[in-house]
Structure 1
Amino acid sequence: MTVKPVRKAVFPVAGLGTRLLPATKTMPKEMLTIVDRPLIQYAVDEAREAGIEQLIFVTGRGKGSLVDYFDMSFELEATMEKAGKSLDALQSSRTDYGEIVAVRQQRPLGLGHAVWCARHVVGDEPFAVLLPDDLMVPGALKQMVAAYNEVGGNIVCAAEVPRDKTASYGIVTPGARDGNRTEVKGLVEKPKPELAPSTLAVIGRYILQPEVMGVLDAQEPGAGGEIQLTDAMARLIGRQPFHAVTVDAVRYDCGTKLGFVTANLALGLADAEIGADLRNYASSSMSQ
Structure 2
Amino acid sequence: MRKKVTKAIFPVAGLGTRFLPATKSVPKEIMTLVDRPLVQYAIDEARAAGIKEFIFVTSRGKGALEDYFDHAPQLEQELRKKGKDDLLNTLKSTNMDSGEIAYIRQHRALGLGHAVWCARRLIHNEPFAVMLPDDVIAAEKPCLQQMVEAYEETGGNMVAAMEVPAHKTSSYGVLDVEEDMGSMVKVKGMVEKPKADEAPSNLAVIGRYILSPDVFRHLNQIKSGAGGEIQLTDAIAREIEDGEGVYGYRFRGQRFDCGSKSGFLQATVAFGLSRDDLRDDLEGYLTEVMSTRKAAE
Task: State the distance in 2 between where 1:90 and 1:203 align.
Answer: 34
Task: State the distance in 2 between where 1:106 and 1:89 align.
Answer: 37
Pairs within 5 Å for 1:1-288: 2-82=1-81, 84=82, 86-95=84-93, 97=96, 99-138=100-139, 139-238=142-241, 239-288=243-292
Q: Which amino acid aligns with 1:88?
A: D
> Conserved in 1, the CA contact under 8 Å of 2:173 and 2:204?
yes
Q: Which amino acid aligns with 1:217?
A: N
Seen in structure 2, the aligned counterparts of structure 1 residues 90 and 135 have a Cα distance that, compared at 3 Å, is farther
> Conserved in 2, the CA contact under 8 Å of 1:166 and 1:190?
yes
Task: State the distance in 2 between where 1:150 and 1:247 align.
Answer: 15
Task: State the distance in 1 between where 2:130 and 2:90 align.
Answer: 22
Task: State the distance in 2 between where 1:253 and 1:240 align.
Answer: 30
* Aligned-partner SS, 2:174: strand
> Conserved in 2, the CA contact under 8 Å of 1:48 and 1:97?
no
> Conserved in 2, the CA contact under 8 Å of 1:69 and 1:93?
no
> Conserved in 2, the CA contact under 8 Å of 1:134 and 1:204?
yes
Deviation at 1:277, TM superposition (A): 1.1
Deviation at 1:93, TM superposition (A): 4.2
Deviation at 1:245, TM superposition (A): 0.2
Q: Which amino acid aligns with 2:131?
A: L
Task: State the distance in 1 between where 2:173 and 2:287 align.
Answer: 39
Percent identity, aligned pairs only, is: 54
Task: State the distance in 2 between where 1:258 and 1:25 align.
Answer: 20
Deviation at 1:92, TM superposition (A): 3.3
Q: Which moved more, 1:86-95 or 1:125-134?
A: 86-95
Task: State the distance in 1 between where 2:63 and 2:258 align.
Answer: 21
Deviation per CA, 1:6-59: give whole Å up to 9, x if none.
010000001011111121111111101110000000000000000011010111
Structure 1, unaligned stretches of length 5 or more? none
Task: State the distance in 1 between where 2:52 and 2:283 align.
Answer: 38
Deviation per CA, 1:102-161: give whole Å up to 9, x if none.
111111110000000100001110000000000011221001011100010000000011
Task: State the distance in 1 between where 2:276 and 2:127 align.
Answer: 37
Task: State the distance in 1 between where 2:187 and 2:108 align.
Answer: 31
* Aligned-partner SS, 1:71: coil
Deviation at 1:81, TM superposition (A): 3.3
Q: Which amino acid aligns with 1:245?
A: Y
* Aligned-partner SS, 2:239: coil
Q: Which amino acid aligns with 1:262?
A: Q
* Aligned-partner SS, 1:102: strand
Task: State the distance in 1 between where 2:126 and 2:237 align.
Answer: 19
TM-score, normalized by length of structure 1? 0.96
Task: State the distance in 1 between where 2:255 and 2:203 align.
Answer: 14
Task: State the distance in 2 between where 1:102 and 1:49 align.
Answer: 21
